[in-house]
Amino acid sequence: EKEVATYKIAAYSDVEAAKSKLTGAGFEVVGTYKGDSGTTVLFTNAAMKSMANKPNRGLAAVGRLLVDDENKQISIANPIYFGKAFMQKEYNHATAASALASLEKAFGPLKNSTDKWEFDGLAGYHFMVGMPYYEDMMVVAEGSTADLVAKAQKAKGTTAVVKLGDDRYVAFVSLDRRTNGFVKKVGAQNGEILPWAVLIEDGKAKALSAKYFIAISYPLLTMSEFMTIATVPGAVEKDLQKVFK
């Protein structure tokens, strides 16, 4: 399809039922995160981890699902949409489509979200001129990979640390409660944007620029709406730096 939905919407169920459907479909549930609008469930499988076990690609290894208590629905981050964005030229459509097919079988029928973007534009996505691309990640800490992983694991509120390779991990860490408030402002229905992912490899802890990740997670966001959360990108960076102090 020319345009791809950012999320796939399924009928509402509780967290335990959602987790059971994921494991029944061959996924490994690696963590859950309670947010203001519901619960994010993080999941992966061997194919997703293998695909993403490459430099700067680890963020594609873990899928996100939101049990949305506010809107009484389940919202699943589309593995094709985020796979294309995060894997860039190394995107593997067979792996992404297989993950989506498994999710459809477990939760289907799935509807497309109103949020969407042109498939061909996802790898080079940026909000507007002068705004960051996928590759413009922020380095929030440096040190040995083992030390950075240990700090992520010990940090208060860490949801999961997933090993992809001998020197590659992806951690899902909590932001300060005040920072988290941006989700309510720009749309609780996409609350699976939290917790924030940090890629740990080659002695660096790297995260997507908040200006990029918020925009690609909310592709219908207008400039005026973005300006209502203008302080959030700086707050996200500070919060992530605290995790690794």
Residue-wise pLDDT for 6-21, tens only, equals 999 999 999 999 999 9
**Residues 6+ positions from 67 with CB-CB distance below 8 Å:** 12, 13, 14, 15, 18, 38, 39, 41, 74
Q: Binning pLDDT at 50, 70 and 90, where does residue 36 land?
A: confident
Instruction: For residue 126, tell me if it sits in a domain.
Output: no
Mean pLDDT of 22-43: 96
Instruction: For residue 233, tell me if it sits in a domain.
Output: yes
Mean pLDDT of 239-245: 96
Mean pLDDT of 36-58: 96
Residue 108 has pLDDT above 90, yes or no: no
Percent share of the chain, pLDDT over 70: 100
Q: Tokens 């203008």 identify what position?
A: 230
> Residue 163 class from Cβ within 10 Å (0-12 exposed, 13-18 middle, 19+ buried)?
middle
* Complete DSSP assignment for 116-162: EEEGGGSTT--SSTTS--TT--EEEEES-HHHHHHHHHHSTT--EEE
- Do the beta carbons of residue 97 and residue 75 sit within 8 Å? no
User: What is the distance between the alpha carbons of residues 69 and 172, in angstroms, rounded to a whole number?
Assistant: 21
Give the pLDDT of residue 81: 98
Give the pLDDT of residue 221: 94
Residue-wise pLDDT for 59-71, tens only, equals 999 999 999 999 9
User: What is the distance between the alpha carbons of residues 102 and 110, in angstroms, rounded to a whole number?
Assistant: 11
Residue 153 has pLDDT above 80, yes or no: yes
Dihedral in degrees, nearest 10, Cα atoms 165, 28, 192, 60: 30
Range of the domain at 73: 3-119+132-243
Instruction: For residue 127, tell me if it sits in a domain.
Output: no
User: What is the distance between the alpha carbons of residues 41 and 224, in angstroms, rounded to a whole number?
Assistant: 31
pTM of the model: 0.96
Residue 56 has pLDDT above 80, yes or no: yes
Instruction: For residue 239, tell me if it sits in a domain.
Output: yes
Mean pLDDT of 23-46: 96
- Average pLDDT, rounded, for the chain: 96
Instruction: For residue 177, tell me if it sits in a domain.
Output: yes
Give the pLDDT of residue 233: 94
Residue 1 has pLDDT above 70, yes or no: no
Residue 121 has pLDDT above 70, yes or no: yes
When divided into structural domains, the chain yields a total of: 1
Instruction: For residue 137, tell me if it sits in a domain.
Output: yes
CA distances from 171 to 62, 206, 214, 243 (A): 10, 10, 18, 11
Percent share of the chain, pLDDT over 90: 97
Instruction: For residue 13, tell me if it sits in a domain.
Output: yes
Mean pLDDT of 191-214: 97
User: What is the distance between the alpha carbons of residues 188 and 171, in angstroms, rounded to a whole number?
Assistant: 22
Residue-wise pLDDT for 218-241, tens only, equals 999 999 999 999 999 999 999 999
Nearest to residue 66, comparing CAs of 100, 32, 114?
Answer: 32
3-class DSSP assignment, residue 72: coil
Instruction: For residue 166, tell me if it sits in a domain.
Output: yes
